[in-house]
Chain A
Amino acid sequence: MPDPSAAPEPLLQIRALTVSYPAGAHAGALPAARATARPGARPARAEAHLEVVRGVDLDLAAGEILGIAGESGSGKTQLLLAILGLCGAGARLRGSVRYRGEELLALPAAQLNRTRGARIAMVFQDPATALNPYLTIGRQLTEVLRVHRGVGARAAERRAGAMLEAVHIADAARHLRQYPHELSGGMRQRVTLAMALIAEPQVLLADEPTTSLDVTVQSQILALLRELRERTRVAIVLVTHDMGVIAELADRVAVMYAGTLIEQAPVEALFAGPRHPYSEALQRCVPRLDGPPPQRLASIPGQPPDPAALPPGCAFAPRCAYRLEVCERSAPPLVQAAPRHWKACHYDEPLGRPGPAASAAAAATLAAGEVP
């Protein structure tokens, strides 16, 4: 198997992708939008539209696991939904999403449906709502094959049984006749994975696939995802807020904040030497079980910005311990900082503690730690 990173053309290529919603429609739906507006914040660029994903560029190679990390309101789920044209009513998409060179954003619904499920499949956070409660597991699994692959009923059933075994569900024949409510949470997530993978897609989009599961079941599902990638070479886009899950599974990581990509790097580089203060702070916030118990948890002061009232300049600046004066005026572009490592930050010195270049206000931000 060739090195996936050496592939000449990415499987999925996203360029300057922007997703926006009419201001009224989305304001209540985003957790961050509930936050009170900061005085002096500039209004969102498109007056009537709120941009929840802002100019994202990303490539996905065959067989790789790309982790997209971010907190709620960062735009990570909207980015995923945009790839499949599943954004909510009123969404406006700009930019480009290409699958093997074919532009998906321009596709009419009927053609997009042929890609969805067959070439690019998705699993969701909550397996209970992703499954139809009125249909048996078998019916839901075979439907994918009959719609996308035109497989006959009996052959589809055989394939469905084999697929359940592939996701380590024992006694497949019995489970095919059961309804979703008869299965446990972990089993349901295995079933949605089987459904997503039964038509042998090239890309699997996974939105917080283990968040609703217990920790012992989460580790089973992570092991399963790893195994499925090895066996089928499916590329996985893994969206999660959990840096622990990213560390366990991803090959490469893209970190999102306020709708933009702020850092992108191979997983080991991102954890060993983050180049963006938000990535660094996010890692510090994850308490670890090794080492002595902390007296105090590291936190990031303040809260993510309201997309309707983004601060001028860098969206992270008000919470940033390294901020410079320029950060409050201009948003830094994503630039290459090292081989395969990009960051969107004006601060160019090594991170660790704010250097002399960081302003006094930034040091105060760090010291306060816990301002509401």
Chain B
Amino acid sequence: MSANAGHAAAADVAAAAGGAAGAAGARLLRVQGLRVGYEVVHERARAQLVAVRDVAFEVARGQTLGIVGESGSGKSSIARALLRLVPAQAGQAWFLGQDLLQLRGARLQAMRRHLQLVFQDPLGSLDPRMSIAETVAEPLRVFEPQLPDADRARRVLAMLQAVGLSAAHLQRLPHEFSGGQAQRIGIARALIARPQLLLCDEPLSSLDVSIKSQIGNLLKRLQQELHLSMIFISHDLSAVRFACDRLLVLYLGEVVEQADRDSLFGAPRHPYTRALLQAAPIPDPRRARARRRVPLTGEMPSPLAPPSGCVFRTRCPHALERCARERPALRALGASLVACHRAEELDGAGA
């Protein structure tokens, strides 16, 4: 299949979705005070594990919001709460005029159409006994049951072509595909019912380097051509730098910094953001070995016993006594939001 056919197919899908897309830049999702917790057994007693605490953010139409953090930071819990796969303990998530977190029954089911997910493990997310045609058609059967068979088949083929697959793949089973191809199928399934918001949870992490960039480019192209809004969850800084307009840095369930991409990478303001950027390996031996860096000591504390005050202070090279006493609020500094008592003083100090 030629690249042009893929573009044409994507444009076709975009045109069809056009009516519902609304004005670019307007707010599509607004999350406030989100709290997600799990009841766990810890040392033979019931305990509350707070995975996400007081998180707020917005996603504008046609934009991609990146959520960055290490394992245990709460990034997947945010996605699960928005998809209503786990209950939120507090907060609101305003989406298309309704609070996602309050929806039930038929209204929740109807809303799912507009909020679709691309998974980390592409092969594991496909039913091994369903052909690709059936897999990609399934959301249409659920959300547009009245659609005639011929129209459905036409939409499935157009969608597969938009993700770089062809009619020859329709009747095949998942095991016949490589990881990269399976991820294309996962993307086609997520987009076929024309969702308003696409959540991608580590969509590139399980792929090989050479395939990762193919899928990264595909997601970005579809996002632009379909004017999609996306939430892109990843621990990989270079992936979010490529894919996202705006970023949220999470640590132990809390937002420590929020900024547009260029501010975050150009002038990171939170000591944790700086440490993350410094820790990323540089694929250039001379520069990698020449740079002076102070690696963070220790690891993220257990969410069952979060530190008092600032969540990052146990690993922060700049922590003061105040940081243990007082939890820093997320506040504006330049173009960024940052939760650090010492952000102004450390700013420009090259800390």
Q: A residues within 8 Å of B by Cβ?
A: 28, 31-32, 34-36, 71-72, 184-187, 214-220, 222-223, 241-248, 250, 267-268, 271, 281-283, 285-290, 293-294, 296-301, 303-304, 368-372
In the complex the two chains form, what is the Cα distance from A371 to B6 in whole Å?
10
Which residues of B (200-254) have their CB < 8 Å from a CB of A? 208-214, 216-218, 220, 235, 237-239, 241-242
In the complex the two chains form, what is the Cα distance from A244 to B286 in whole Å?
12
Which residues of B (303-349) have their CB < 8 Å from a CB of A? none
Nearest CB in chain B to that of A72: its residue: B208
Q: Is the CB of A293 within 8 A of B261?
A: yes
Minimum CB–CB distance for B102 against chain A, Å: 34
Q: Is the CB of A282 within 8 A of B284?
A: no
Q: Is the CB of B281 within 8 A of A248?
A: yes
Interface secondary structure of B, over-half rule: helix
Minimum CB–CB distance for A203 against chain B, Å: 22
Minimum CB–CB distance for A292 against chain B, Å: 9
* Residues of chain B within 8 A of A222, CB atoms compared: 281
Q: Is the CB of B299 within 8 A of A247?
A: no
Option from B211, B218, B235, B286 in Cβ contact (under 8 Å) with A214 = B235
Nearest CB in chain B to that of A212: its residue: B71
In the complex the two chains form, what is the Cα distance from A178 to B265 in whole Å?
40
Q: Is the CB of B208 within 8 A of A71?
A: yes
Q: Is the CB of A294 within 8 A of B71?
A: no
In the complex the two chains form, what is the Cα distance from A243 to B280 in whole Å?
12
Q: B residues within 8 Å of A by Cβ?
A: 1, 3, 70-71, 164-166, 172, 175-181, 184, 208-214, 216-218, 220, 235, 237-239, 241-242, 261-262, 265, 275-289, 293, 295-297, 299-300
Of the listed residues B209, B218, B265, B276, the one surrounded by the most CB atoms of chain A closer than 10 A to its CB is B209
Nearest CB in chain B to that of A37: its residue: B176
* Residues of chain A within 8 A of B184, CB atoms compared: 372
In the complex the two chains form, what is the Cα distance from A290 to B281 in whole Å?
11
Nearest CB in chain B to that of A73: its residue: B208
Option from A244, A268, A300 in Cβ contact (under 8 Å) with B282 = A244
Given A34-B176, A241-B208, A371-B3, A287–B238 Cβ distance below 8 Å? yes
Option from A185, A243, A289 in Cβ contact (under 8 Å) with B277 = A289
In the complex the two chains form, what is the Cα distance from A286 to B236 in whole Å?
11
Of the listed residues B235, B285, B287, B297, the one surrounded by the most CB atoms of chain A closer than 10 A to its CB is B285
